[in-house]
Structures are given as structure tokens and as C-alpha cells.
Structure 1
Amino acid sequence: MAMLRYIIFNYHHYRAFISNNPHKSIPLFPFQFSHNFTTSQSDSFTVSYLINTIGFPREAALKASKRLRFNSPQKPNSVFNFFTNLGFSDSNIRSIIIKQPRLLSSDTHNSILPKFQFFLSKGASSSEIACLLAANPRILQNSLENRIIPLFEFYKRFFKSDKATICCIIRNLISLPYNLTTVNVKLLIDYGVCDSAIARLLLTRPAILGSIDFISTLEEVKGLGFHLSTSTFGAALVAKKCMSKTLWDEKVDVFKKWGWTDEDVIRAFRGRPELLLTSIDKINLVISFWVNQLGWNSLALSKRPRIFSYSLHKRIVPRALVLQYLVMKGLRKKNASLVEPFAPSKEMFLRKYVLSFKEDSDYLLKLYEENVNLASTKENIDMPFTK
């Protein structure tokens, strides 16, 4: 089909050329030895192979063919077989190739095999390596000696074991600017941040460690009263780094709208840095329910800010309605904490706040379960809560 389109295209140009140049000497088959046609054939085969053999989407195949070209299946098939012999599943191989199509033209035994052997030597199994590479095969395009081994040696301090270090590097670290990341990590060490907090950052928010204005955020978090040797310091760093000052101020204003002071916000943030990662909508929904539906003081939430990380409809609403009933019936002490019951597991909550009240347990269990069931139905989100 590609050849037919090419012939038709050139034929029309040929006819036009004859009409405009009647006395010129024209070869009988003007496109017979066209270099462009050879390229088109090669491109067509590459695209066809990528789509039909590997499973590329058409657009991805067309894009990949601009940087990748082969005239026969011999080379790409050898790469596919190479991964198969290492124990990779077809789905793993396809995922790797679709994400990094240039691997189809790579020197597998000199470029990829040494990296695979290095990963194996550090305790990762073949199946683990296959799954990790399927998720992030970009590491295979990097130098073993100049990139992978230096990363391994630097980060092993924080992950302790060889296997954990390899898994983390393959998963996400290779995409970071190595020099800048190591500078920022060394800065954390100099500030006294504990290794476990650094490891958590590397695992959960590695991109933060590749930022160029890292020291200013460190100083800002330190100025908020966080102790650098605690695990909450890393969480606070994430919260400050992941949002603009404008968004930060907007969230603080939302809390203040509900009666909190700046000091209340900072105190709650110190206790639970993830608090300021909560969306404005979620903050408003939780406090609105707490104040308008239950009639309770919003400042109680500032003492246990972890409540904002719980699901409003699956956890907060069902438990709050149980507590409201207990308070109304005089079954709960007036000075008892209203936020403490939201922390325990479901089983512990039911045992302590539902089943322990023999005469009311049936009603309380029904009240709890009805509201948990409502949570699974999206259309009930904006409906009045069951009382």
C-alpha cells in the first residue's frame, strides 16, 4: 500500500513535469531508484513491526520510527529474545520496548547484560528486576560505571541493604539530576536530618531533592520550629516544597475562616505536616460537617489534625454520628476528646464505642453501617447525612 501511494504520488508529478517541459528527455521510470522510496520502505517496515509485533499504538510507532529504523526483523527479534532468555515475560518486554524503543537497536550483550548482572549481584531477583524495568526502563540507557554504580554507592547509606537500594534506583532515582541531588542530600546531612527521613524523601518525593532552591526551603521549615532530626521534618519539607506561597496562604486563610489563628495552624502543622497538603475543598468539607452538622468547636480539630487525612464519608461521618448520639444520650463524658475516636482501627472503634453499650449497640451499629454504606455511593455525597 505504501508503494502504491508512492507510485501514484510520483506519477502525478511526472505528468505535470511532462506538460511543463515537453522537450526534456525524461526517463521511462523516474522514481525507480528514488532514495526517498527506499527510506519510505524502511520506515513502513519499522512502523509495521512496532505495531504488529510489539503492540505499539500507531502514533507511538510513527514517532519511534523517526529515531529507529530497520529493514528486517532480525535485530529487533534478537533483542526480544535476549529479554526472554533472561526470564522476562512478553508483557514486561513489550512495556520496556514501548517506553524505550531505542533498545531494539542496542548492543544487548555489551550494554544491557552487564547492568542486569549488576542488579542480580545486589540481591534483586530476575522477576523483581523485570517488573521494575517494565515500570522504568530508562535506567538501561544510562552508563553502568558512570551513573548506576555511583548512584548505588551513594544511596546505599540510606537504604542499608543492597536489594532495597537497587529497587529504589530502578524505580525512580535515575531520572533525577545526579549532581544536584547529591548536593541537596549532603546538605540535609549537614543540617542534621536523620538518614531515615532522607530515605523516606528518596522513596516518596525524590523530585524535591533535585530542586535548585532547596536550601531556602530548608531554612523556612527550620524557622517554623521543626527539629531537623525528627521524621516530621521531611514531611514538612515536602509540604512546603509542593505548593506555592499563594496556595499556602489560601489554605491558612481557610482555617482562619473557621476560627483558627495563625498559631493554631502552625501548631497543627508541626504535629501533622501533611495537613497543608489537604485540598481546600477537603478542609472546608471536614470543618463544615464538624461545625454545622455536629455543632462542635472547630478548634478541637487543630489538636488532632490527622483527622483531615481520613475519608470524610467512610470514616469521619459514620464515627461522628455515633459519638454525637453517645454525647446526646449522656453516655460519653463531657470532657472526653471528640477527635480521639477517629484514630483507632474499625474493629477497635466498634468494640469501644458501639458494642460496649449493650442497650444501644444495635441502634449504634445500624447507624454506623448505614452511613458507611452511603459512602460507597457517589451520588449520596451531597445528600444530608443520616441522623
Structure 2
Amino acid sequence: MFKFDTLCHKTLLCLNPLTFSPVSQNLLPFSLHFCTNTSNSSSFAVSYLIHNFGFSPLFANKLCSTYSVKFKTAQNPDSVLAFFTNHGFSKTQLHNMIAKAPWLLSCDPIKRVLPKFQFFLSKGASNSDIVNLLSKNPTVLCASLENQIVPTYELADRFLQSHKDTFACVNQSSSFFADSAVPHNISLLIENGVTDSNIAALLRRQSRLFNRRDFLKVVGELMDLGFNPSQSYFSIALVAKASVKKTLWKEKVDTFKKWGWSDEDVLEAFRKQPHCMLTSIDKINLVMSFWVNDLGWDAMAIAKRPRVLGASLERRIKPRASVLQYLLNKGLLKKNASLTSPFVHSDKLFHDRYIKHYKEESSYLLKLYKEKLNLAHVGDKTDVS
């Protein structure tokens, strides 16, 4: 780890929030324990990493070799560390950051780092927001502010229309503003007619997808399946197609087929409700088992209305099923009545149509419903405890 001794034989410049000012020697936290006059810049850099960060000689050598880290004195690396320390970076954060980007020790923090700090601060990011971003992915500092970071930020902000939401893109993808694939993929969606609202939804929920190099292929696959880029489901389909690995996708298809669906049934369900392929295999089996084995209903009904799979089994499906079963047993529902519609209705519409509508039975129906709902709440409390 870091070693903090008094720096000898030199004066460093220490940065306050936005400008450098001279500081006393004994205020600086970083120093070497040996003479700084050496002709071998590579070996000096290796020694600096070993003594100041506790890296092993092997790892320090690898970093210097891989990133061509060279400096002959401690003046510049010490000023870099002083800059980051004054901006709130902890010892651990600096240790991890230098392990990922040792070239920072050779940079000019006023030219390379400060303008990026100032830009993000001007957009409403807090100092701690910037510290968290850079400590996770210091390669953001590699990117050109004018040619990469600013254009990418402004393009994302065009859809999100919120500095807070735009900066939040880095929560999922720390390289979001530094990756050239991001503006390319956003432009790709625009060119293919994806609506602004869909793009905004993707940026808010799955900004990491914009780092993908096969974005065009995924979009093309969805278009071939008949998805309309102007529809709201397109963004969900894109998330599903891009985030579910092929092996897991096949496992989910096989799970549906186990319950009597065909390959075409699965595709049709995906077209209707893309979220069904984001449902876990365990959830699929639990819902289908309850539907088929406990209720005795046809699994193909869910294939035609896959939105049912997105409902909570305990808090929605079971309580509502208890009401429907009673109505069916009493002959109060029409024989051709949809068994899936009640599970996608709002709470108010469900109560109006399936509880309040049957005035003589409404008290008992409400009791049935609440009993199942209370069991779900008890289960929630048990899970929490």
C-alpha cells in the first residue's frame, strides 16, 4: 500500500479544487525512499510503484512494460497523486486506479484530468460522483474531451434531457462516455427508426448495451423477426436479445417446450411480450406448474398472452386465480371467457369485473382474494427475516 513520508529535496504543486497552488513539503502524502536522480526511467518507475503502492516487483514491471510507464524523478507522479488526493480519492481508490492505469503517473493532470473534472462538475455531477467514476474506470481519462466525452454526453442528454440521468449512464457502464461504440450505436438506432422514447428507455435501464460491438447484428435479428422499431416493445426485445446468452436462451426455449409449446409458439410469445425471455427459468416453471398442475388450465393460454409470466405468482396470480376458480365452479363465468385477461388487468379493473360485479358473492370473493394476498405478504416478511 501507500507509504507516507516527508518528501525531500523538492517542492510540489498541490491542486485545490480547480487551481494549483504551492504547498508545504510535509503536507504531501506520497514520496520515495531513495534518491530521485537516476538515468534509468523504467527502473525508477518500477521502484516507485513498488515503494509507493506495495506492488510486487513482477506486477510493477508488467505495468511499466505494458503501459510504457517511464519517469526519471518523483516530481510528476507525486503531483498527479496530490491532484487526485485533493479531489477526494482515498488511498484504496488510488491504489486500484494506478493498478489499472499506471500511465496516469506520467500525465499532466492540469491538461489531461482537470478539464474533464470541470466538464462533469458543470453538468451537475458531484465531486464524489466523479471520484467513483474514475476510480472504477480511469480509462475515461484516455478519451478526448472535445472529440469523445462531450459529443457522447450531449447525444445521450438529447434523449434523456436530464444531466442527472445522463451522468447516471456510467452506473451501468463506467466506460460509457469514453467508448466510441456508444455514439455509433445510438446513431445506429436513430438510423433504423427507433423512437426517441425507446432510446431513452434503453439509456436509463441498460446503458451498458451501447458498448456492444455486435449491436447492428442484434438490431438486424429483431427486424428479421418482425419487430417494429417504433413500438415500445422494441427496447425490451433488444435488451432480451442482447443480454440473454445463446445457451440460456436455448434453455428457456426448451423449458417452454416442456410445457407443450412449439418453437413457433415461443417466437410468437417473444414477439407479443419480449419480457418473457427475460423471465428466469425457475419463474417460468413455477407459473406454468401452478397454471397447469394446480389449476388444470391449458399452457397454451399463456403462450397466447405471455404477459401473465411477468405477474407475481404469490401477489397476483394466486389471489386472482382463487376468485376465478370459485366463479368457474359456480358457473358464473362464461365458458368462452378468457382465463388470462384477469391476470393482466389493473387492480381496480379486476375488482370491478370479478369481485364487485357479482354483488351477492362479492363479500366471499373479496375474502378469498385477501386470504391469498395475506399469505403472500406473510411470505414476504418471512423472506426478509
TM range (shorter): 0.5 to 0.7
Per-residue deviation at 1:250?
Answer: 4.9
Output one character per residue of 1:289-335: Cα deviation in whole Å (capped at 9) or x when no partner. 210122122223234423323454x4356435633664466496356
1:286 — aligned with what?
Answer: 287
Q: Give 3-state SS (helix, strand or coil) of 2:292's partner.
A: helix
1:197 aligns with 2:203: no
Specify whether residues 109 and 368 from structure 1 end up closer, same or farther in structure 2 by C-alpha distance, changes over 3 A only: same
Shift, 1:170, TM fit: 7.7
The alpha-carbon deviation at position 176 of structure 1 amounts to 8.3
Looking at structure 2, the residues matched to 354 and 374 of structure 1 have their Cα atoms a distance apart, in angstroms, of: 24
Q: Residues 305 and 95 (structure 1 numbering): CA distance in 2 closer, same or farther, change over 3 Å?
A: farther
Cα distance, 1:371–1:158 mapped onto 2, change above 3 Å: closer
Q: CA deviation at 1:165?
A: 3.5
Deviation (angstroms), 1:139: 1.1
Counterparts in 2 of 1:148 and 1:176: CA distance versus 1, 3 Å: closer
The 3-state SS of whatever aligns with 2:114 is helix
Note if contact 1:119-1:129 (Cα within 8 Å) is conserved in structure 2: yes
What are the ranges of 5 or more consecutive residues in structure 2 without an aligned counterpart?
A: 1-37
Larger helix proportion of the pair: 1
The equivalent residue for 2:124 is 123
- Which secondary structure does the structure 1 equivalent of 2:175 belong to? helix
How far has the Cα of 1:115 moved from its partner?
A: 0.5
Q: CA deviation at 1:180?
A: 4.6
2:307 paired with 1:306 = yes
TM-score where L is the length of structure 1: 0.65
Task: Say if 2:97 and 2:137, in contact at 8 Å, map to a contact too.
Answer: no
Pair 1:315 & 2:315 matched: yes
**One of 50, 55, 78 as aligned partner of 2:53:** 50
Structure-2 change in CA distance of 1:198 and 1:377 (3 Å): same
Q: After the TM superposition, which of the residue ranges 210-219 and 192-201 deviates more from structure 2?
A: 210-219
CA shift, 1:160, in A, is: 3.4
Q: Which amino acid aligns with 1:251?
A: K
Which whole-Å CA distance do the structure 1 matches of 2:347 and 2:328 have between them?
Answer: 22
* Residues 163 and 279 of structure 1, relative CA distance in 2, 3 Å threshold: closer
Between the aligned partners of 1:364 and 1:233, the Cα distance in structure 2 is 35
- Identical columns (%): 41
Q: Contact (CA 8 Å) 2:152, 2:183: kept in 1 or not?
A: no
Which amino acid counterpart does residue 67 of structure 1 have in structure 2? L
Aligned length: 333
What TM-score results when the alignment is normalised by the length of structure 2?
A: 0.65
Distance 1:89 1:212, change over 3 A: closer
AA matched with 2:146: E
Question: Counterpart of 2:240?
Answer: 239
Cα 1:77–1:183 shift into 2, 3 Å: closer
How far apart, in 2, do the equivalents of 1:89 and 1:183 lie? 32
**Superposed displacement of residue 365, structure 1:** 3.2
Change in Cα spacing, 1:91 to 1:195, as seen in structure 2 (3 Å) is farther
Deviations, residues 91-129 of structure 1 (Å, cap 9, x unaligned) = 895587377453455432222111101112233333443
User: Do the aligned partners of 1:319 and 1:341 also contact (CA within 8 Å) in 2?
Assistant: no
SS of 1:260's partner is coil
d(CA) in 2 for partners of 1:331, 1:74: 87
**CA offsets 1:108-156 (integer angstroms, 9 cap, x no match):** 2222111101112233333443444444443123232343223234434
CA distance in 2, matches of 1:126, 1:168: 17
Query: Partner residue of 2:378?
Result: 373
Q: Which structure's CA Rg is the greater one?
A: 1
Q: Aligned in 2, Cα 1:309/1:77: closer, same or farther, shift over 3 Å?
A: farther
Deviation for aligned residue 1:349? 7.6
Q: Is the 8 A contact 2:77 2:105 kept in 1?
A: yes
After superposition, where does 1:13-24 map in structure 2 within 5 Å? none
Question: What residue in structure 2 maps to residue 112 of structure 1?
Answer: 113
TM-aligned CA distance change 1:76 to 1:97, over 3 Å: farther
Mapped to 2, the partners of 1:300 and 1:130 lie a distance apart of 51
> Residues 243, 85 of structure 1: CA spacing in aligned structure 2 closer, same or farther, 3 A cutoff?
closer
Distance 2:81 2:193 in 1: 48
* Deviation for aligned residue 1:276: 1.8
Deviation at 1:175, TM superposition (A): 5.5
Letter of the structure 2 residue corresponding to residue 370 of structure 1: L
CA separation of 1:40 and 1:137: change in aligned 2, threshold 3 A: closer
Note if contact 1:136-1:172 (Cα within 8 Å) is conserved in structure 2. Answer: no
Instruction: Give the counterpart letter for 2:224 in structure 1.
Output: G
RMSD (Å) for aligned C-alpha atoms: 4.6
Report the CA distance between 1:211 and its aligned residue: 4.5
The equivalences for 1:109-188 within 5 A come to 109-162=110-163, 164-168=165-169, 172=173, 174=175, 178-188=179-189
Contact 1:80 1:93 in 2 (8 A): no
Letter in 1 for 2:319: R
Cα gap change, 1:71/1:93 in structure 2, threshold over 3 Å: closer, same or farther?
Answer: farther
* TM-fit CA distance, 1:203: 4.2
Give the match's secondary structure for 1:174.
coil
Q: Which amino acid aligns with 1:120?
A: L
Q: Could you say what secondary structure the match of 2:363 adopts?
A: coil
